[in-house]
Amino acid sequence: MKRRLVIGVIVLLLIGGGAAAYFTTKDNDTTTPSTSQTSGGQSANGANFNPASTEDLEFTATITTAGAGSATFEHDDKGSTRYVATQNGQQIEVVYTSDAYYSCQGDNCVKFPISQSSNSGFNPGDYTYDQTELANYRSSSSYKGKQSCPSGTCDVWSVSVSGNTSTIYIDADTKRITQVESTIAGKTSKIVYEYKDVTIDIPANAQTIPTPSP
């Protein structure tokens, strides 16, 4: 499986990689589930684990981790993504396009080839869900009933991946993923999704670090 469903515990500490070297320097829902818990992608009342893929959808997501503040993630219809967090009073931003990624601290931005994206400390795939991934989660899903959620009313599912468990809130009408909660080592991370038009501006005047010769 190409990624864990569980979101990293300390989200804000993920940023760094090559750019850092260059700069040197639950919301407890008390709603009673409306049906008995069943697993394997289908509930006793016929509900199915079949959320809509986030592929080709524009959205923003607010990521909150207990004890580590919050960050935002944006995805546009051109396939670009943008992650913004604040660390030690300094805004940190990572922008992904089809052929490059940009890492910014304050007004200083550096452009890297997409081939070096593993050094960015940020993986856009951790916040998106394609059909293949969702199909893999279905076999371990357990229905928890309908609960209130940021978009109104959601079907709630518990999903186990690689020994970790997350709770997914799926809008009852649109079938879009509205919220994901995960707990690792006693720390809870929550992502709230809002589907709307998104425009991502590519950092202007970004510096380019020369690629070392082989």
| Domain harbouring 183, CATH code | 2.50.20.20
H runs (alpha helix) in the chain: 17-22, 131-138
Rg for the chain, CA atoms, rounded: 18
> Is 214 contained in some domain?
no
- pLDDT for position 128: 87
Residues β-bridged to residue 77: none
H helices present in 23-118, as ranges:
none
Give the pLDDT confidence score for residue 145 in this predicted structure: 95
Query: Considering the domain boundaries, does residue 2 fall inside one?
Result: no
- The domain of 198 spans 11-208
Q: How many domains does the chain have?
A: 1
Residue-by-residue pLDDT tens, the chain, 214 positions: 434 443 333 333 333 333 333 332 223 333 333 333 454 555 544 578 999 999 889 999 999 987 777 899 999 998 899 999 887 777 889 999 988 999 998 888 999 998 888 777 778 888 888 999 899 889 889 999 999 999 999 999 999 877 778 999 999 999 999 999 988 777 888 999 999 999 999 988 899 876 655 5
Tell whether 94 is covered by a domain: yes
Q: Please tell me the predicted confidence (pLDDT) of residue 190.
A: 92
Say if 6 falls within a structural domain. Answer: no
Residue 94: the pLDDT is: 92
User: Cα–Cα distance between 87 and 84 in angstroms, integer?
Assistant: 10
Residue 72 lies in a domain: yes
- Specify if 3 maps to a domain: no
pLDDT at residue 102, as a whole number: 93
What is the C-alpha to C-alpha distance for residues 174 and 148, in angstroms, rounded to an integer? 15
The answer to whether residue 146 is domain-embedded is yes
pTM, two decimals, is 0.76
- The dihedral built from the CA positions of residue 41, 170, 9 and 80, taken in this order, carries a sign that is positive
Q: Give the pLDDT score at 151.
A: 94
